[in-house]
Amino acid sequence: MLEIKNLKKRYGNFELDCSFHIDNDQVIGLVGRNGVGKTTIFRSILGLLRPDSGEVHLFGKPVSQLSANDKGRIGVTFPNSFISEGFTITDVKKTLSATYSATFNISEFEQKCEQQKLPVDKKVKHFSTGIQAKLKLLLALSHEADFLLLDQPTSGLDVIVRKELLAMLQAYLGQKHNRSVLISSHISSDLEQICDFIILIDDGKIILQEETDHLLNNYGILKVPAEEYPSLDKEFILATKKRKYGYACLTNERRYYQENNPKLAVEKASVDDVLELLIKEEK
């Protein structure tokens, strides 16, 4: 579905340098702090910026060679991009009908708007943040897109609305095979629910690519007193950071340490835990 190979883009002292791929029927979560390269990756996939070097292929083609029909197979949400605030959903339907005449199903879109209780004749500028987020996602899903590029679709929303958005996305993916998603979020619990793989990025580099289930089932945090750290078996330690109590150590073999160090505090690791221990310290 998507192939990114040796993608490089430099801005001053920052350089993005990454490679990864997304297969059919995969949901990939992209995680990292602000300013580490996520938006540059998204914009490169959409052909909105030209990389310094490297290749970006979508649907088996370089993104620069995607046809209008190919681009119609992409559904996108960005935090700060939206339709005109003066539009109503009635206006939105007309725009979608004209833009995606072959794939936009008006009756299905109307049904989903009704299910999500979206006000059809109210101007978008009067929508709540949650209603706007639902409409953004519906727009991305409305034209039978095969590849979804979702940049922080649940950002700033309460837990109820986030669950509703994730349910909408999961229902869409369940309707048809060969649909894939690249989604970024600062809310790792959302990604843990829906993603097959997690990609962690820091300072323009991918620092971890891991299957979500494997990460949640096997990664762990060891809380090691300072006096015990020198004698700790570090064979399966991926990262260590100093803490008040001693050291926090990230491992991808949690059960090994639970079995061989029964007195040691070993906790399951979340995506946030893994990212926090792997990223470089703030300067």
CATH number of domain containing 184: 3.40.50.300
Tell me whether residue 271 is in a domain.
yes
Tell me whether residue 266 is in a domain.
yes
Contacts of 137 (CB under 8 A, 6+ apart): 77, 150, 153, 165, 168, 169
CA distances from 108 to 75, 105, 138, 142, 170 (A): 17, 5, 11, 8, 17
Domain termination site, one of 157, 185, 212: 212
232 DSSP β-pair partners: none
How many domains in the chain? 2
Contact indicator for 169, 136 with CB cutoff of 8 Å: no
Residues 195 and 264 in one domain: no
Residues 38 and 111 in one domain: yes
User: What is the spatial distance between Cα 127 and Cα 83, in angstroms, rounded to a whole number?
Assistant: 12
- What phi and psi, each to the nearest 5 degrees, are found at residue 86? -85, -5
Residues 6 and 62 in one domain: yes
Residues 23 and 153 in one domain: yes
Domain housing 178: 2-212
pLDDT in tens, 38-82: 889 999 999 888 899 999 999 999 999 999 889 889 999 888 766
User: What is the spatial distance between Cα 186 and Cα 152, in angstroms, rounded to a whole number?
Assistant: 7
Residues 146 and 183 in one domain: yes
Q: Please state the rounded mean pLDDT for residues 98-112.
A: 85
Contact indicator for 278, 253 with CB cutoff of 8 Å: no
Residues 205 and 224 in one domain: no
Residues 126 and 240 in one domain: no
Residues 116 and 240 in one domain: no
Tell me whether residue 46 is in a domain.
yes
Domain termination site, one of 186, 212, 238: 212
Residues 79 and 203 in one domain: yes
Residues 54 and 151 in one domain: yes
Residues 224 and 205 in one domain: no
Domain termination site, one of 171, 186, 212: 212
User: What is the spatial distance between Cα 264 and Cα 271, in angstroms, rounded to a whole number?
Assistant: 22
Considering the chain, what is the average pLDDT of its residues? Answer: 90
Considering the entire predicted model, what is its pTM? Answer: 0.89
Contact indicator for 199, 20 with CB cutoff of 8 Å: yes
Count CB-CB contacts under 10 A for residue 36: 22
pLDDT at 180: 94
pLDDT in tens, 2-17: 999 999 999 888 899 9
User: What residue has token string 């060969």?
Assistant: 178
User: What is the spatial distance between Cα 268 and Cα 252, in angstroms, rounded to a whole number?
Assistant: 10
Residues 164 and 37 in one domain: yes
Q: Please state the rounded mean pLDDT for residues 84-91.
A: 85
Contact indicator for 138, 112 with CB cutoff of 8 Å: yes
Tell me whether residue 258 is in a domain.
yes
